[in-house]
Amino acid sequence: MKFKNYLESITGIGIYPLISLLIFVVFFGLVTFYVIKGNKKHFEKLSNLPINDNETN
């Protein structure tokens, strides 16, 4: 059998997973930072949104 795995030999393919991991880590870091630093009252207000709607029955 002389078939090779043609798709393995794309030059510089390693950069793709690297970029993706980097983007994720940076974004995740930013969100985490925001969430930790964020205003507690603000979050409390938000989390009460489903409960505070006026009950008609």
Instruction: Please report how close the Cβ of residue 27 comes to another protein at its closest, in angstroms.
Output: 7
Instruction: Please report how close the Cβ of residue 52 comes to another protein at its closest, in angstroms.
Output: 9
Instruction: Please report how close the Cβ of residue 4 comes to another protein at its closest, in angstroms.
Output: 9
HSE at residue 55, side-chain half, CA atoms within 13 A, is 4
Per rule CB under 8 A, is residue 28 in the interface with another protein?
yes
Per rule CB under 8 A, is residue 53 in the interface with another protein?
yes
**Which structure tokens are listed for 7?**
């798709």
